[in-house]
């Protein structure tokens, strides 16, 4: 009789959550498939969980029913590769907390803060982080005081960008080049969200930086809480970084390293880590910047950026010497460490 093989203590069972209710459903499915392949390459087992546009969770074609504190399909850790509302905003993170499942990425509060573009900018401003000038507008204020809002927006100059505050992947963004178009752009933003943001146009180039958390053994040896990748420049085929530029072939090119000074590159990495820490993020993030000479401005932070091997997040880490399979493995290990640390506290 052949002896039964001993279980591998390093092998994890990972529930990969993808899809979701947001407009980024298909992007999330692509990210989820890439994460699944990366985890398999790293030697782990994967349980795919697809969240439909209707919000239902399914695995193996069967609709799931979950119970508080009962885990999720026996998985050791969950990897919620979800983008935008109903997935990257703290809602799914809260559910996973209730299920007592370790999960990859930011927790409830950080997820909620970072998806809210206005709240994130307020947090950065309160801590002296340099940013582009901006204006947050609530829908009820817009309906009551349109002329005052338009007057305030005009102070930002033209062109300006109008965005729904809680969308990702540039969904609903409009570039406003004339004063007469501002009202139409705001009306359009409020079709997506009750909160909109108007941002002044920034000079220079767009640069992004990936952040990846450090393992406990690394921190105990003196490493920082997280590492920042080489910065990369986003070079656009079109006028600005809209949804089509992000996801259409040839819509953008990533140049790594970014053609910026060594001082600017170091400032990018410093600010990326600072924004990551200030917002309470864990595991991973991608921080976006505008750079004009040595002036570095933070634009926004994504707690769960696009996650295919060709996405900016993975490409920047690969250029910094960390391969895709190592990234997804490390993120699962970080999730387990955080879960164990949190459960050590008294409640």
For the ranges 114-123, 165-174, 176-185, 216-225, the lowest mean pLDDT is seen at 165-174
Q: Where are the domains of the chain?
A: 13-105, 112-129+203-303, 134-200
Provide the pLDDT for residue 2. Answer: 47
Residue 305 has pLDDT above 60, yes or no: yes
DSSP category for residue 109? H
From the CB of residue 75, how many other CB atoms can be counted at a distance below 10 Å?
21
- Predicted confidence (pLDDT) per residue in 44-103, tens digit: 999 999 999 999 999 999 999 999 999 999 999 999 999 999 999 999 999 999 999 999
Strands 295-302 and 284-292, sheet pairing = antiparallel
CATH architecture classification, 134-200 = 2-Layer Sandwich (3.30)
Q: What is the mean pLDDT of residues 287-301?
A: 97
CATH code of the domain occupying 112-129+203-303? 3.30.470.20
Phi, psi dihedral angles at 213 (to 5 degrees): -65, 155
Q: How confident is the model at residue 1 (pLDDT cuts 50, 70, 90)?
A: very low
Residue 341 has pLDDT above 90, yes or no: yes
Greater model confidence, 228 or 6: 228
Phi, psi dihedral angles at 85 (to 5 degrees): -60, 155
CATH code of the domain occupying 13-105? 3.40.50.20
> What value, to the nearest 5°, has the Cα angle with vertex 163 and ends 161 and 164?
170
Strand partners, 135: 198
Provide the pLDDT for residue 286. Answer: 98
């Amino acid at each position: 009789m052949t002896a039964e093989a001993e279980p591998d203590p390093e092998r994890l069972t990972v529930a990969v959550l993808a899809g979701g209710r947001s407009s980024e459903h298909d992007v999330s499915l692509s990210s989820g498939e890439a994460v699944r392949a990366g985890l398999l390459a790293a030697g782990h087992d994967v349980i795919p969980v697809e969240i439909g546009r209707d919000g239902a969770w399914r695995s193996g074609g069967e609709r799931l029913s979950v119970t508080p504190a009962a885990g999720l399909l026996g998985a050791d850790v969950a990897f919620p590769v979800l983008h935008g509302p109903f997935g990257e905003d703290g809602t799914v993170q809260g559910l996973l907390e209730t299920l007592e499942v370790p999960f990859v990425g930011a927790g409830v509060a950080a997820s909620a803060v970072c998806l809210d573009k206005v709240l994130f900018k307020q947090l950065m401003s309160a801590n002296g982080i340099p940013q582009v000038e901006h204006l947050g507008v609530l829908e009820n204020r817009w309906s009551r005081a349109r002329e005052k809002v338009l007057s305030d927006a005009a102070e930002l100059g033209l062109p300006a960008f109008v965005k729904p505050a809680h969308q990702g992947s540039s969904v609903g963004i409009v570039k406003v080049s004339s004063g007469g178009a501002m009202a139409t752009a705001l009306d359009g933003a409020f079709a997506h969200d009750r909160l909109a943001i108007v941002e002044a146009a920034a000079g220079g180039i767009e640069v992004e930086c990936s952040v990846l958390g450090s393992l406990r053994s690394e921190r105990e040896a003196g490493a920082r809480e997280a590492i920042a990748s080489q910065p990369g420049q986003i070079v656009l085929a079109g006028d600005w970084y809209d949804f089509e530029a992000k996801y259409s072939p040839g819509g953008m090119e990533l140049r790594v390293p970014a053609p910026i000074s060594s001082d600017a590159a170091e400032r990018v990495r410093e600010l990326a880590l600072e924004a990551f820490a200030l917002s309470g993020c864990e595991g991973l993030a991608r921080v976006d910047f505008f750079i004009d000479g040595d002036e570095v401005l933070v634009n926004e932070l994504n707690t769960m950026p696009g996650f295919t091997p060709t996405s900016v997040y993975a490409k920047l880490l690969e250029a910094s010497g960390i391969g895709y399979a190592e990234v997804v493995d490390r993120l699962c290990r970080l999730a387990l460490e955080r879960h164990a640390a949190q459960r050590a506290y008294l409640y």
